[in-house]
Amino acid sequence: MTSLGSNEVFIIRPKIGIGRLFFVPLLRQTPWAITAIFCISLATGLSLPGREWPGIILASLVVMWWVYQLGRDISERAPLAVQASGVAFLGRYQLTKRTPLRIVLKPDGHLAVFSKSYSIYVEYENGRLLIARRVVGKKVNQQKQLASELAAFLGLFAYVDDGSGRLKKLAGQR
């Protein structure tokens, strides 16, 4: 969450151990995996001869959804850093994003205990980079501070979307 002096890199998500990177998403996705295994066994073992294709299609859809969710969870926990030029690195890989425009906190439409939840993005000329997803409660203030620090590091402005699509400059910026 801080910039490193001579390297000119802003670390958004620090490097975590390989166990935490894979164990937590696997634990969260265990119900989907069990459902996929159940669908596959149901499709191949208990169906009538010649009638297993609907079960196989359902099982493949569940497996694809599970793999998508698992990949998304792992990528959201991978180390993320941004250079002063705006070049982003997810782990060791340079992302193809170029020319950062602004940092935006957007409500993502999920209500959690009567509070809005936000997702935070760096909007680039050719897309956007997710920093944090479904931030709720006290964490919103921490993420607003992180967005302000990152905006100052990149020489941009941070905005909050009020839900109507209009952007309001984040308080505490010049």
Strand order in the sheet with 158-161: 127-135, 115-124, 100-112, 158-161, 167-169
In a domain? residue 110:
yes
Express as a percent the part of the chain with pLDDT over 90.
0
In a domain? residue 140:
yes
Residue 13: strand, helix, or coil: strand
Output the pLDDT for position 111. Answer: 60
Indicate yes or no: pTM above 0.75.
no
102 and 72 in one domain?
no
In a domain? residue 111:
yes
In a domain? residue 63:
yes
What is the SS3 string spanning 83-151?
ECCCCEEECCEECCCCCEEEEEEEEEEEEECCEEEEEEEEEECCEEEEEEEEECCHHHHHHHHHHHHHH
Q: What is the pLDDT of residues 103-124, one digit of tens each?
A: 888 877 666 555 677 788 888 8
What six digits make up the tokens of 65?
Answer: 């959804």
Task: Report, as an integer, the average pLDDT of 76-99.
Answer: 84
Mean pLDDT of the chain: 77
Q: What is the pLDDT of residues 129-149, one digit of tens each?
A: 888 777 777 777 888 888 888
149 and 115 in one domain?
yes
In a domain? residue 23:
yes
Instruction: Quote the number of domains for the chain.
Output: 2
Q: Which domain holds residue 108?
A: 95-169
Q: What is the pLDDT of residues 8-36, one digit of tens each?
A: 888 887 777 766 666 777 777 788 778 77
127 and 73 in one domain?
no
